[in-house]
Copies of this chain bind each other. A is one copy, B any other.
């Protein structure tokens, strides 16, 4: 057993000793406790489960002054960004509490006994039930919103599943501080303290995913990390679902009309989007398509000026910093690619120099169309729609596709939508792809390699990942879950084929 080290990215120094790594016995113990806690949480009436989610949000809010400085010291993301991230995190927990009260996520369905062309049909009732303990792998880049108290944890708790989080090594003390908030929420609402648990260390993560009690895995991280965990799952006796949010190049298309009419604004938005959080967003636009010619040139000139004036960023870890330097070098040495501009350089801590590189869209290759975590983007200049469409088929599928066009270019934009329809999870027509709103309609996912699932990891419908259907045939009312009994019920249900919004 050794300590998990905690570093300050601004200096590269070890700032303090973090929690201890978890032993195999620790993981075994956590899984055993999670089984009991999961059963308890699943048995809790929905209003109490919702109250627990609200209490988690309240506890995180109450611990803001403890959590944010620790997170800042471990991530260098800055206090304003981290306060915003905590607001997002608690909003998310409260939105899930609302969704649990509303009950539509249960997909409660009742078919009364009846006659069909197949003969008599028995009474059948169905709803979704929690699958059991879930392992969550938090990401490095969102120490709050996609880590211990993040979307995977919130949605799993909403579904009624206990969670064992493998803390990300980039922010172990932040993870421990968030766990503390959860445990206060458990105590305040009479929920088992084992409902959210934490393990530390890479080996513990592997042991966790391999453990027979774990029923699903939520993961936000690299494609390489995701594939490694998929291999662990392949070695299990029982396969379990793995929901990996893995990578994103996030093409950003500027039409000729948009370059002409809003070139400066788009350049500024794009600059902020690819440098925000030191470019460490899964939805960072890593590949911008800009038309050749005067208006495109103006847009790029504006972008260069912003990049050249940009201060040095600090990346989350030494590993990310090293990978970024290598990624920039690979981009710069690819055929047809030239560096257009870079920001100020520094050697202090896990530093990163902002950069844009350029090439002709027709020269775009797999080697260039790769995600590079950090403040860099590739500007591909295209001649016309045909040139653009050809280039758009080069990159792998992505979480998002942004298309900045004008009213008058409806056909141009529609053609890009058509080409990207099967290659993306979300289309963005105004603004930028970063800043993934938490809402009912949000979708954060997409075709491989952006994710490996047909689900979202952000928004209310992310709850579906932790649920399975269960049916009751000809059941006495007393053995049915409350939500499936006859009579009025203040949740949406489908009764004899007809969706009844509430009080069915």
Contacts and interface: CB of A to CB of B under 8 A. Distances in A.
Interface of A: 84, 87-88, 90-91, 98, 102, 104, 107, 109-111, 116-119, 121-122, 124-126, 129, 131-132, 230, 234, 238-239, 241, 407, 410, 413-414, 417, 421-422, 424-431, 437-443, 445, 447-449, 452, 454-456, 459, 461, 465, 467-476, 478-479, 492, 494, 496-502
A442 B499 contact: no
Contacts of A109: 440-441, 461
Given A124-B441, A238-B448, A454-B131, A470 B118 contact: no
A278 B441 CA distance: 48
A117 B85 CA distance: 11
Nearest to A126: B441
Nearest to A416: B479
B469 A443 contact: yes
A87 B234 CA distance: 40
A470 B401 CA distance: 11
27 contacts: A84-B118, A87-B117, A87-B118, A91-B117, A111-B437, A111-B440, A111-B441, A121-B437, A126-B441, A238-B448, A238-B449, A239-B448, A410-B478, A426-B471, A427-B470, A429-B473, A429-B475, A440-B496, A442-B471, A443-B469, A443-B470, A443-B471, A454-B467, A454-B469, A492-B499, A499-B501, A500-B501
Nearest to A99: B497
Contacts of A107: 461
Identical subunits present: 2
Contact of A442 (B124, B422, B428): B124
Given A241-B454, A426-B473, A470-B443, A479 B122 contact: no
Given A121-B439, A440-B109, A430 B474 contact: yes
B441 A454 contact: no
B467 A427 contact: no
Given A84-B118, A124-B437, 4 more contacts: A111-B440, A116-B438, A454-B465, A500-B501
Nearest to A405: B476
Given A107-B461, A501-B501, A469 B425 contact: yes
Nearest to A237: B448
A468 B454 contact: yes
A428 B500 contact: no
Given A118-B87, A118-B438, A448-B238, A469 B461 contact: yes
A355 B9 CA distance: 71
A111 B429 contact: no
Contacts of A498: 501
A206 B102 CA distance: 45
Contact of A124 (B116, B131, B439, B445): B439
B430 A125 contact: no
Nearest to A466: B454
B428 A473 contact: yes
Contact of A428 (B87, B456, B474, B492): B474
A474 B456 CA distance: 19
A425 B471 contact: yes
A445 B470 CA distance: 8
A468 B456 CA distance: 9
B443 A126 contact: yes
Contacts of A90: 117
A437 B431 CA distance: 49
A40 to B, nearest CB: 13
A398 B359 CA distance: 57
In this complex, the member of A125, A239, A440, A502 whose beta carbon has the largest number of chain B beta carbons within 10 angstroms is A440
B470 A425 contact: yes
Most buried by B among A90, A443, A447: A443
Cβ-closest 3 pairs across A and B: A443-B471, A430-B474, A109-B441
A211 B161 CA distance: 36
A497 B326 CA distance: 45
A470 B461 CA distance: 12
Given A118-B84, A430-B473, A452 B499 contact: no
A195 to B, nearest CB: 18
B500 A110 contact: no
Nearest to A410: B478
A395 B1 CA distance: 38
A241 B452 CA distance: 8
A417 B473 CA distance: 13
